[in-house]
């Protein structure tokens, strides 16, 4: 793999953490549960 052309691992991890955090905030703000949102995607 060409490291100079790939996205840094820390950037991918940061994006995943932000995405999960925002998703959790949205679900909690709507009043649903994380398990329900996974079983029955809106």
Q: What is the pLDDT at residue 19?
A: 92
DSSP string, 1-42: --GGGSPPHHHHHHHHHHHHHHHHHHHHHHT--HHHHHHS--
Q: What is the mean pLDDT of residues 3-21?
A: 86
Total structural domains in the chain?
Answer: 1
Is residue 1 situated within a structural domain?
no
- Give the phi and the psi of residue 41 in degrees, each rounded to 5: -60, 135
**Cβ atoms of 27 and 37 closer than 8 Å:** yes
| 4 has a pLDDT exceeding 70 | no
Decide: pTM greater than 0.85.
no
Better-scored residue on pLDDT, 31 or 2: 31
Is residue 4 situated within a structural domain?
no
pLDDT grade for 13, boundaries at 50, 70 and 90: very high
Is residue 30 situated within a structural domain?
yes
Is residue 16 situated within a structural domain?
yes
Domain membership of residue 25 as a residue range: 9-39
Is residue 2 situated within a structural domain?
no
Is residue 20 situated within a structural domain?
yes
């Amino acid at each position: 793999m060409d490291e100079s052309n790939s996205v840094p691992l820390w950037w991918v991890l940061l994006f995943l953490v932000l995405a999960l955090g925002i998703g959790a905030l949205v679900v909690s703000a709507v009043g649903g549960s994380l398990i329900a949102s996974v079983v029955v995607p809106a």
